[in-house]
Amino acid sequence: MIYVLCLLLALPFWHNKAPAVFRVKFETSVGSFIVEAHRDWSPHGADRFYDLVRTRYYDDSRFFRVVPGRWAQFGINGDPTIALQQRHVTIPDDTLKQHNTLGYVAFSNTGPNTRSTQVYINLGDNTARNDVEAGFAPFGRVVEGMDVVERLYGGYGEHSGGGMRAGHQDQMFEGGNAYLDREYPKLDKLIRATITVKSN
In a domain, 120, yes or no: yes
In a domain, 173, yes or no: yes
- pLDDT, residue 166, reads 60
| CATH code (residue 148) | 2.40.100.10
Note down pLDDT in tens along the chain; length 200 residues. 555 555 555 544 456 799 999 999 999 999 999 999 999 999 999 999 999 999 999 999 999 999 999 999 999 999 999 999 999 999 999 999 999 999 999 999 999 999 999 999 999 999 999 999 878 999 999 999 999 999 999 999 999 987 666 667 999 999 999 999 999 999 999 999 999 977 66
In a domain, 15, yes or no: no
Give, in degrees to the nearest 5, the angle at Cα 119 between 118 and 125.
Answer: 140
In a domain, 108, yes or no: yes
In a domain, 14, yes or no: no
- CA dist 130 and 123 (Å) reads 13
- pLDDT, residue 161, reads 85
Run of H or E including 141: strand 140-144
- pLDDT, residue 13, reads 45
- CA dist 87 and 117 (Å) reads 7
- CA dist 185 and 181 (Å) reads 5
Question: Is the distance from CB of 64 to CB of 109 less than 8 angstroms?
Answer: no
Name the domain count of the chain: 1
In a domain, 60, yes or no: yes
Question: Is the distance from CB of 101 to CB of 129 less than 8 angstroms?
Answer: no
- pLDDT, residue 10, reads 52
User: Can you give the pTM of this predicted structure?
Assistant: 0.91
Domain that holds residue 59: 2-9+20-199
Question: Is the distance from CB of 102 to CB of 130 less than 8 angstroms?
Answer: no
In a domain, 135, yes or no: yes
Strand 140-144, strand 71-74: pairing: unpaired
- pLDDT, residue 2, reads 53
